[in-house]
Amino acid sequence: MVLSLPHLLVQRSPPPFRPGASPHRRSLIALLLRHQDRRRQFLQIHAQLVAHQVFDQSPAPWRALLKAYSHGPSPQEALHLFRHARRHLADDTFAFAFALKACAGLGWPRAGAQLHGLVIRKGFEFHAYVHTSLVNAYVVCRRLVEARMAFDEMPMKNAVTWNAMITGFAGWGEVEYARILFERMPCRNVVSWTGLIDGYTRACLYAEAVALFCRMMAGGISPSEITVLAIIPAVFNLGGILMGEMLHCYCEKKGFVSDVRVGNSLIDLYARIGSVQNSVKVFNEMLNRRNLVSWTSIISGFAMHGLSIEAVELFAEMRRAGIRPNRITFLSVINACSHGGLVEQGLAFFKSMVYEYNINPDVKHFGCIIDMLGRAGRLREAEQIIEGLPVEVNVVVWRILLGCCSKYGEVEIGQRAIKKILNLERESGGDFAVLSNILNEIGWFSDAEQARKLVDERKTVKLPGLALVGEIR
């Protein structure tokens, strides 16, 4: 039973709070006072329930508030309320299920274990709804051993219980056990399929994810928007443009493209599999549904394909539309400037990010600036920026500079970059190979040969080259 706000806020004078009022009402009012700065609407309803003395009449108000608090942004309030609810009329399966939901939301495994003990004491351990909430709490808190024990001892398991285990274990990378459960599940639904597909994708097992998706479609199970969002990363990592287009057609047929998340994912998908024209098409079709992610995705797609001027123009159009860029948007447009040789515009965007939008740059932004200056041959300026950075520089930034030194045959800066790389991590054979190439370019052949010998003398790591061809059958 869900209580409506108008019914609770009827215009009648509540009975005054008297010193002799029952202890549980006093404790509830004290609870409200401690949390009066948060969740105003719930607290107003809660206050009205207390004021009108409805808690003594029915457990429904307890359940309604416990559910609201457990699903809200501050689940600890549900646990505060649960302590009071246990002493009165709501000490039932609903109360325990919502309290366990709050433990899952907070990531508090010890509180969940304590509730497990109370569940057993109250005789609710084989109640399907309560036990499913218990399993879910253990899974969410990554207490996987306890989750398996609780799941195995359940005499009757419903679809929600199976899905909690499959989705949870797959999400934590335990895809093999999730697959075992999936195959054992008596009646799989779209949630089961989606959870396992998402687990394979997160584990970078893209071929397995796509194969499972195809099996799902062949079995007559219709994917949901969430399924589409789960499979898209697998499709673009395998480079399957044909499957990407088929997935897009399916989304249009089902009306999923109206979901801004699906639209944004399709923009990114097409950009990554080499069809920026289709990215633009999806973006243009979104019209008033575009958000910051939409703009950032298309700008990043243009940058990825070397369409620097188009990316810069789109960035300007985004700002005219009143969309405030974030650090990822700036990283995308600066990267576009780097690849297009638009150095001054890239530097202007960087200054705008810092001084106009008050966004603190991180090492990725600085790395992009170094790459942009290095590509333009402004190597000394790039080195000076690295030396003066307010953040800790990783080896990637120095390798960017080393690569640019190779392009322009800059030995002195390249040698300093090598020294910095050696100070940060165990040297890689690739770094000495780059230095050797620089020396060869300027005719210092003996020094180049010496650099090559250092690879073997220092026992540096030499990674073999690989050629991968992804095919979707």
DSSP per-residue codes, 243-264: HHHHHHHHHHHHTGGGSHHHHH
Q: Is the pLDDT of residue 352 over 60?
A: yes
pLDDT of residue 440: 56
Q: Would you say residue 419 has pLDDT above 80? A: no
Query: Is the pLDDT reported for residue 315 higher than 70?
Result: yes
| pLDDT classification of 213: cutoffs 50, 70, 90 | very high
Query: In the prediction, which pLDDT does 94 show?
Result: 81
Is residue 219 a contact partner of residue 192, using CB atoms and an 8 Å limit? no
Q: What is the dihedral of CA 244, 246, 247, 252, to 10 degrees?
A: 130
Top-confidence residue, 6 or 73: 73
Q: Which residue has the higher pLDDT, 432 or 104?
A: 104
Confidence band for 471, pLDDT divided at 50, 70 and 90: very low
DSSP SS3 for 400: helix
Please tell me which residue, 122 or 205, carries the higher pLDDT value: 205
